[in-house]
Amino acid sequence: MNDFSQLLSDKINVITDRWVSAVRQDRQIESADNLPRTAIQNQHYSCR
């Protein structure tokens, strides 16, 4: 379990960048159109 936690920790920036990009590109998430990156990023972190 510790190995997975370390891997996840090492990749958190890549995962977050992909999350923000996916939310921005998803046209069904209209509420994200005017949100700053940090607001989308904070939503990602609250899902963990």
**Quick one: pLDDT at residue 25?**
82
pLDDT tens string for the chain (48 positions)? 568 888 888 888 898 889 888 888 887 877 777 788 888 777 655 555
Residue 35 DSSP label: -
C-alpha Rg value of the chain to the nearest Å:
12
Q: Is 36 left (phi over 0), alpha (psi -120 to 50) or beta?
A: beta
Please indicate, yes or no, whether the overall pTM of this predicted structure exceeds 0.75: no
Distance CA 48, CA 36 (A): 20
